[in-house]
């Protein structure tokens, strides 16, 4: 057991460490211990795969989240305010992947996909980008069909 003088020394030392490194370092250490740290994902953003989309930030975030859930990725951290999602490739493959959102303007958002694993980064970016682009195409096709339906209906009514 520690003597009274030693206890005070340990408390002073602990207080100094907290002041030097702050609570964030302790929180990040705990996250790392539990396997839910996003630090490595944030550090890897400079090598991220990125693509811009014609959606506002909130829409882009929700569409990405929807795609990840449909494709069985496991979201373990992130929310709209943090402007990021941290996921595992799947429930079985716990390779971490970070998806960061940067609002370019009201109607455009840049998505950056980061991971220490090149394969995981490529897999998730392809999954998300292709699906969002697919949603774009489906929406445009639907709009075109509606426009054609209106114009063809208009033509039919003129014939009669």
> Is the pTM here over 0.85, yes or no?
no
Average pLDDT score, the chain: 77
Task: Please state the domain extents for the chain.
Answer: 1-34, 39-159
User: What's the pLDDT score for residue 50?
Assistant: 95
pLDDT given at position 98 = 94
pLDDT band for 14, please (50, 70, 90 cuts).
low
User: Which contacts qualify for 72-76: CB closer than 8 Å, 24 or more apart?
Assistant: 73/97, 73/124, 73/127, 76/36
Distance CA 153, CA 18 (A): 72
pLDDT at residue 12, as a whole number? 63
156 contact partners, CB below 8 Å, separation of at least 6: none
Among the listed ranges 4-18, 28-42, 47-61, which one has the minimum average pLDDT value?
28-42
39-159: in CATH 3.30.310.80: yes
DSSP state of 55: S
């Amino acid at each position: 057991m520690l003597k009274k003088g030693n206890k005070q020394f340990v408390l002073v030392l602990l207080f100094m460490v907290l002041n030097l490194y702050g609570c964030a370092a302790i929180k990040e250490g705990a996250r790392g211990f539990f396997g839910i740290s996003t630090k490595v994902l944030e550090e890897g953003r400079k090598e991220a795969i990125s693509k811009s989309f014609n959606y506002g930030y909130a829409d882009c975030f929700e569409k990405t989240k929807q795609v990840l859930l449909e494709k069985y990725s496991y979201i373990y951290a992130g929310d709209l305010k943090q402007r990021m999602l941290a996921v595992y490739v799947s429930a079985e493959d716990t390779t971490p992947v970070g998806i960061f959102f940067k609002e370019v303007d009201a109607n455009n958002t840049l998505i950056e996909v980061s991971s220490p694993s090149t394969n995981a980064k490529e897999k998730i970016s392809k999954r998300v980008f292709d699906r969002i682009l697919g949603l774009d195409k489906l929406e445009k096709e639907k709009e075109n069909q509606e426009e054609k339906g209106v114009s063809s209906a208009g033509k039919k009514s003129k014939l009669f």
